[in-house]
Chain A
Amino acid sequence: MKERNSNTHNIIVILVFVCFLGFFGIAYIVVPDREYSELENRYLTTFPAITGERLLNGEFMSDFDSYTADQIYGKDLFVKGNVAYNRMLGIKEINQVFIGKEDYLIQDYQEPGDLLDENLASIEKFAEAHPELPIAVLLAPNANEIYPEMLPGFARTYPQSRVMVRANAVLSADNFTFVDATGTLAAKKDENMYYKTDHHWTTDGAYYAYQELCGAIGLTPKKLEEYERIEIQTPFYGSLYSKAPVTGNPGDHMTLYRNPDRGYRVTYVMEDRTEDSMYDESYLTKKDQYAVFFGGNYAYVKIENEKLQSANIADSKMSGEKTGNVLVIKDSYANALIPFLADQYADIHMIDLRYYHDDINKLIEENEIGQVIFIHNVDFLSTDNSFVWLN
């Protein structure tokens, strides 16, 4: 029998190990830093600033640890590799995302905590403070509610119908109209109401919810045929894919609907910027295609429909349109729906409470708001703590 571990054998083992460490070590220096990860849809930590204070309080060190994790050579492959390792073990939930059937990635949703009740109470309080204003609340379920059969076997999420019941019970002021989009979306589920790789509803999903909303507040919705249908060819890999980048997923395809005789003025109030379209098409070639709507979430966006602004009131009443001003308080689900609603109201004031922290009463007064619409999805309503800014 030969010597078990010859010297050469050992030297090769050492070299493999040391070269592995050295290779990635040198790559930090040689390979330029990336600022943004398209795959993960987030900004990466770049080389941290060194100051005496940051050294003493440890901030430099913790930033440096993020830096070495974020800027490692081949990071995207490593992230995908980690998901692949998890899947190989048979794990079907990664970062709270279920790896479902038919390429569906579905966000987990479990029993909401006290925050849901607090948020509902905030909305109720807001309504009570504005008894003269009609207030509609459009609550959208999430994909787990509409496509439970696409969850991996035995996976269960909390029934969002219970959240709807709770919301309907808490929102009891006389000026409320509560709109639960679940029925409509469930009825149309064959038409892909949600993206398979993103946590949002599709443009079609948003349209059907818009239809439901119009019916509930006495508007006549535009027909889908009145719009020009644009199918985006570049596949869309959304936020759920960013959390669980599974290999072999074909991605989604986004659809946009454009009003052929459009004429909008879109003002980003805080940014002091005006556009003539609600679509920022530069995002269609980027990773987060959903940001095509308004370029993402902004604190306060004003959408003016020039046609409706010049129309006389009698005409618009007949066509079911309103020239009044509406305040929409919303999360990102609304971004896909507002382009339809923009053909209904002359002025839409759209605010996102995560970023809009000014006096809402003043906004209502100054803009002669005649209607308020909340557009939220159940997950957001259950987990976001920005509703305190309402009051």
Chain B
Amino acid sequence: MVFSSTTVLFVFLPVVLAVYFVCPKRARNVVLLIASLIFYMWGEPKLVLVMLATILVNYILALVCAGCKEKENPRGAKAALIGSVVFSIGMLAFFKYTNFMIDNVNGSIGKLAGFTIAGLRDLTLPLGISFYTFQTLSYTIDVYRGEVKPQKNLLHLATYVCLFPQLIAGPIVRYKTVEDELSFRQETVDDFSRGVRRFVTGLGKKVLLGNMAGSVFDLIGQMPDSQISVGLLWLSSIAFTFQIYFDFSGYSDMAIGLGLMFGFHFNDNFNYPYISDSITEFWRRWHMSLSGWFRDYVYIPLGGNRKGKGRTILNLFFVWLLTGFWHGAAWNFVLWGLYFFVILMLEKYVLRSVLDKLPIWVRRIYALFLINLSWVIFSYDDIHELGSVLKRMFGLGYIPIWNSSTTFYLLSYLLLFIIMAIASTPAPIFLWKKAEEKLMTKSYGGAVLLGAEIIGILIVMLLSTASLASDAFNPFLYFRF
């Protein structure tokens, strides 16, 4: 299931919310677990077993690991951890990367030696495996590090891993973030209402902005050569830049909002990434739960920046290679990760001093240009197609720079692009807060605010429902993750 669907909004959510709050506190984790399993099995009825196996194995190994630590048996603890890592990464590697490996072997050595491996070609990727694998790893690693106690209650651990709000598209919630809330949490009116606001905001971002931007990207992608132009290709890349942000951060907002409704407090995942003035800053604001994960569980264990410049660069190279590969089993994602590695290294060692001297808006344009280009690499998983699109974008294809269709689609989507540009900045929230402060000094302020909020919620909900009921473009972008 995806949150932005009529099934979730009008069947799944009302039923789950009703059952959850009717049940006594001790039964609520069971309700969430069952709801989460239905949510997961809705799109993946068979491969749910992979997830359940991962939970069970890590549950046992974490207990073993903690047991060994208590008996001061560090080798045993380490063995349990290694077992957990090998199993989790092994499952991920097997389901996610086998096809890719086989394709590449077939395409290189196979071609030379004249053989093809067919066997496992049609493996399907279990939904959300990249997310839940990273979550369970955060759990066992933190148990090994002694940062959290092992969860003795299998039900609690399963609830954590399967928790439907963050199950299939993140954010990657670490076990220690919700450790206490799993066994005891207080659902409050304040949290629930904040959850509603967050969820509705996310729904609007995903359906009313992200999907619309996505339809532009798709539309231009399907155009025949006689219609395309350099301008349209840039328009399409900007559309994708907006799509991935509003889709992904909207999805995170919905996840965080749903978490709040059930009394969980997840960390933020996005912090206005497109106002960054460098790529370094961009990665402190984009998909923060992922970059934080790689920092804490890969970069720092490898030695971080404490072992000299050469080792630091090597560590970062490794992190970005993995980051790229995590996003999908295809070469363009590897390229995308390494693209960021190169830029980050340049910024760290060469450009920083130059950039600092430039005015802020030049730095922002610099960052946006590189971000936009990164999404071009990201959006074409066929490396030949990617090459041809990049060539054409920089005027090396035999297409016009501009044509009438370019003007038509630019005018058609101009207002949407302006709205999305404004919505990518903190300006709307800032203005809302200002208005709130002003109104609160007046006697009627509360009523006006409430009215504005209700109207806002209703408009977003109605328009989103309209889009979903119209069978409009509504993709799920993270099936590769």
Residues in chain A within 8 A of chain B (CB atoms): 1-2, 4-7, 9-14, 16-18, 20-22, 24-25, 28, 55-58, 61, 64-65, 68-69, 72, 75, 78-79, 81-83, 85-86, 89-93, 110-111, 113, 152-156, 158
Task: From known contacts A14-B192, A79-B466, A110-B224, infer whether A68 and B445 are also in contact, taking CB-CB under 8 Å.
Answer: no
* Contact status A82-B450, CB under 8 Å: no
Knowing A56-B45, A64-B7, A65-B5 touch, does A4 contact B436 (C-beta < 8 A)? yes
Contact A11 B11 (CB under 8 A): no
State A56–B43 Cα separation when bound (angstroms): 10
What 8 pairs between A and B have smallest CB-CB spacing? A10-B193, A111-B224, A154-B408, A68-B6, A82-B466, A81-B466, A78-B469, A111-B226
A78 to B461: give the CA distance in the assembly, Å: 11
- CB<8 Å pairs between A and B, sample of 25: A2-B446, A5-B193, A7-B189, A9-B193, A9-B450, A10-B192, A14-B196, A20-B461, A21-B9, A21-B17, A24-B9, A72-B469, A78-B465, A78-B469, A82-B467, A86-B212, A89-B419, A90-B414, A91-B416, A92-B408, A110-B223, A111-B227, A155-B405, A156-B408, A158-B226
Residues of A within 8 A of B405 (CB): 154-156
Whether B14 lies near A18 (C-beta < 8 A) is yes
Q: Are B469 and A21 in contact (CB under 8 A)?
A: no
Chain B 458-473 interface residues, beta-carbon cutoff 8 Å to A: 458, 461-463, 465-472
How many angstroms between the C-alpha atoms of A13 and B461 in the bound complex? 13
CB distance from B211 to the nearest CB of A (A): 11
Known: A78-B470, A154-B405. A20 touches B458 (CB 8 A): yes
State how many residues of chain B have any CB contact under 8 Å with chain A.
Answer: 63
Whole-angstrom distance between the Cβ of B163 and the nearest chain A Cβ: 20
B residues sitting closer than 8 Å to A (CB atoms) are 5-7, 9-11, 13-15, 17, 42-43, 45-46, 189-190, 192-193, 196-197, 199-200, 208, 212, 223-227, 403-405, 407-408, 411-416, 419, 436, 440-441, 445-446, 449-450, 453-454, 457-458, 461-463, 465-472
Residues from chain A with Cβ under 8 Å of B197 in the complex: 13
- Given the known inter-chain contacts A2-B445, A68-B7, A82-B470, please indicate yes or no for A17 contacting B200, CB distance below 8 A: yes
Q: Closest CB-CB distance, B37 to chain A, in whole Å?
A: 13
Kindly identify which residue among B17, B412, B436, B471 contacts A18, using a CB–CB cutoff of 8 Å: B17
**Cα distance, A263 to B268, chains bound together (Å):** 76
Instruction: Determine whether the beta carbon of B190 is less than 8 Å from that of A10.
Output: yes
- Please determine whether B10 and A72 come into contact, CB atoms closer than 8 angstroms: yes
Determine if A68 and B454 form an interchain contact, defined as CB atoms under 8 angstroms apart: no
The smallest beta-carbon distance between A56 and chain B, in angstroms, is 5
Q: In the complex, what residues of B have CB within 8 A of residue A12's CB?
A: 450, 454
Query: What residues on A are CB-neighbors of B225 within 8 Å?
Result: 111
Identify the interface centre among B7, B10, B407: most chain A CB within 10 Å of its CB. Answer: B10
Beta-carbon contact of B46 and A1 below 8 Å:
no
Specify the chain A residue showing the minimal Cβ separation from B227.
A110
Whether the Cβ atoms of A156 and B454 lie closer than 8 Å is no
- Whether B14 lies near A22 (C-beta < 8 A) is yes
B436 with A155: CB separation less than 8 A = no
> Residues of A contacting B196 with CB < 8 Å?
13-14, 17
Given contacts A61-B42, A79-B470, A111-B227, contact A21 B13 (CB under 8 A): yes
- Choose from B14, B449, B468 the contact partner of A21 (Cβ within 8 Å): B14
Residue numbers in A under 8 Å from B436 (CB-CB): 4
Cα A245 to Cα B10 with chains together (Å): 25
Chain A residues in 8 Å Cβ range of B454 = 12-13, 16
Residues of A within 8 A of B412 (CB): 90-93
Q: Are A154 and B411 in contact (CB under 8 A)?
A: yes
A81 proximity list for chain B (CB < 8 A): 462-463, 466
Question: Which chain A residues lie closer than 8 Å to B5 at the CB level?
Answer: 65, 68-69
Whether B463 contacts A153 by the Cβ 8 Å rule is no
Across-interface contacts of B42 in A (CB, < 8 A): 61
Q: Which residues of A contact B46 (CB under 8 A)?
A: 56
Output the least CB separation between B220 and chain A (Å).
12
Known: A68-B10, A85-B466, A91-B416. A58 touches B193 (CB 8 A): no
Residues B466 and A65 in contact, CB atoms below 8 Å apart: no
Q: How far is the CA of A158 from the CA of B446 in the complex (A)?
A: 57
How many Å from the CB of A276 to the closest CB on chain B? 41
**A14 with B189, Cβ < 8 A, contacts A24-B10, A65-B6, A111-B225 known:** yes
Compute how far the CA of A10 lies from the CA of B195 in the bound complex, rounded to whole angstroms. 11
Contact B468 A69 (CB under 8 A): yes
A residues in contact with B449, CB < 8 Å: 9
A11 and B224 contacting across the interface, CB-CB below 8 Å? no
- Is there an interface contact between A55 and B408, defined as CB atoms closer than 8 Å? no
Which residues does chain A contribute within 8 Å of B415, judged by CB atoms?
A: 89-90
**What CA separation (Å) do A158 and B15 show in the bound complex?**
50
CA distance A90 to B417 in the complex (A): 11
By a CB distance below 8 angstroms, the chain A residues around B470 are 78-79, 82-83
A68 touches B11 (CB 8 A): yes
**CB-based contact B7/A65 at 8 Å:** yes
Q: How far is the CA of A379 from the CA of B386 in the complex (A)?
A: 30
Cα distance A338–B467 in the bound complex, in angstroms? 40
Is the pair A13, B10 in contact by a Cβ cutoff of 8 Å?
A: no
Given contacts A111-B226, A156-B408, contact A6 B193 (CB under 8 A): no
In whole Å, how far is B113's beta carbon from the nearest beta carbon of chain A?
35
The distance in angstroms between the C-alpha atoms of A204 and B407, with both chains bound, is 35
Instruction: Give min CB distance, B418 to chain A, whole Å.
Output: 10
- A13 near B467 with CB under 8 A, answer no
What 10 additional pairs, Cβ within 8 angstroms, besides A58-B43, A61-B42? A1-B440, A10-B189, A10-B193, A13-B450, A68-B10, A85-B463, A86-B212, A90-B411, A92-B412, A156-B408
B6 — nearest CB in chain A belongs to which residue?
A68
CB distance from B89 to the nearest CB of A (A): 28
- What's the minimum C-beta distance from B287 to chain A, rounded to whole angstroms? 27
B224 and A113: CB pair below 8 A? yes
- Measured in the bound complex, the distance between the Cα atoms of B436 and A17 in whole Å is 21
- Known pairs A18-B17, A56-B45, A68-B10; A13 contacts B453 (CB<8 A): yes
- Nearest Cβ on chain A to B9's Cβ, whole angstroms: 6
**B457 x A13 contact (CB < 8 A):** yes
Q: How far is the CA of A2 from the CA of B189 in the complex (A)?
A: 18
Q: Is the CB of A156 within 8 A of B43?
A: no
* Set of chain A residues within 8 Å of B6, measured between Cβ atoms: 24, 65, 68-69, 72
Whole-angstrom CA separation of A21 from B415 in the bound complex: 30
With contacts A28-B11, A82-B469, A154-B411 taken as known, whether A11 is within 8 angstroms of B403 at the C-beta atoms is: no
- A64 shortest CB reach to chain B, Å: 6
CB distance from A82 to the nearest CB of B (A): 4
Q: With a CB–CB cut-off of 8 A, which chain B residues contact A2?
A: 440, 445-446
Q: Which residues of B contact A78 (CB under 8 A)?
A: 462, 465-466, 469-470
Q: How far is the CA of A23 from the CA of B416 in the complex (A)?
A: 30
Which among A65, A92, A155 has the greatest number of chain B C-beta atoms within 10 A? Answer: A65
- Residues of the B chain whose Cβ atoms lie less than 8 Å from the Cβ of A154: 404-405, 407-408, 411
Task: Judge whether B226 and A110 touch: CB under 8 Å.
Answer: yes
- A14-B193, A17-B457, A155-B408 in contact; A85/B7 too (CB < 8 A)? no
Residues of chain B contacted by A86 (CB below 8 angstroms): 212
Contacts of B466 in A (CB 8 A): 78-79, 81-82, 85
